[in-house]
Amino acid sequence: MSLPAFTVVIPARLASTRLPNKPLADIGGKPMIVRVAERAHASSAQRTVVATDAPEVAAACAAHGIEAVITRADHPSGTDRLAEVATLLGLPDDAIVVNVQGDEPLIEPSLIDEVALHLAHHADCAIATAAHPISEVAEVFNPNVVKVVCDAAGRALYFSRAPIPWARDAWAGVPAAAAATAQVALPAMPVLRHIGLYAYRAGFLRRFPTLALSPVEQTEALEQLRAMWHGERIGVLETAAVPAPGVDTQADLDRVRALWAQAMAQEGP
């Protein structure tokens, strides 16, 4: 199947507790949000739109020829913000919308295409996302690393910050709190790390804000669990490649700046 038509929407909030004004942070002479949009432009998306509640972010996008829309400031999640954008853009219910996080300036354009195609291939799923096998046991026990377990058809069974699946025999007698630093091996079954990239159909996006918050979503602080709580399926594209790091903290920003400079140096004049 050829690539479907799709729109990339990049939610970008100016407020950030760990890194203030994050979307406007400079990376190689341009704001981070512009760098993210440029990566999205390099995909096969027919349209790339930044969704923000901050005029400063919209102005930075306009200065670099990036389309942006102003959304409400009171959305409880990025998915709710995308729902408003789907309506603002007048997208038909069957249109595919890919949510690219605004703090992923090194995201691979090909991965954006692959997630959009994965949703197009799975008519029974409301959402498509991606994951890759974890190679370090410390990441399995890191609550900031979200894990996913899938069924035989590659649909998500559950997402969690906890180590799933739990290797009962391999980790017997190892306290979960100490396992990250203990001499324990990865289980034979791959542990998948969720990649925070989503494709939706616009009709589902418009319905998402009407779904009641779920207890498991609130407990894990993972909004995709709301869809699963209400019976929606999520298709998971498994990829071998480990994605480039995103930006949550100043240390992350420093690392991404260094990687960007390195990439530019390799490209040469």
pLDDT of residue 241: 87
pLDDT digits (tens, 9 = 90+) for 87-145: 999 999 999 999 999 999 999 999 999 999 999 999 999 999 999 999 888 888 889 89
Q: Name 190's Cβ contacts closer than 8 Å, sequence gap at least 6.
A: 133, 134
- Identify the DSSP state of 90: T
Span 17-23, mean pLDDT? 86
pLDDT of residue 266: 80
Q: What is the pTM of this model?
A: 0.92
pLDDT of residue 79: 87
Rounded distance between C-alpha atoms, residue 106 and residue 180, angstroms: 28
Least confident of 7-21, 37-51, 148-162, 224-238: 7-21
Query: What tokens were used for 52?
Result: 């923000």
* Phi and psi, residue 159, nearest 5°: -115, 140
Burial of 169 (0-12, 13-18, 19+ CB in 10 A): exposed
pLDDT digits (tens, 9 = 90+) for 172-211: 766 655 555 556 777 778 899 999 999 999 999 999 999 9
Query: What tokens were used for 46?
Result: 């027919």
- Identify the DSSP state of 175: -
* Domain edges within the chain: 6-254
Element (H, E) at 11: strand 6-12
CATH code of 6-254, in short, is: 3.90.550.10
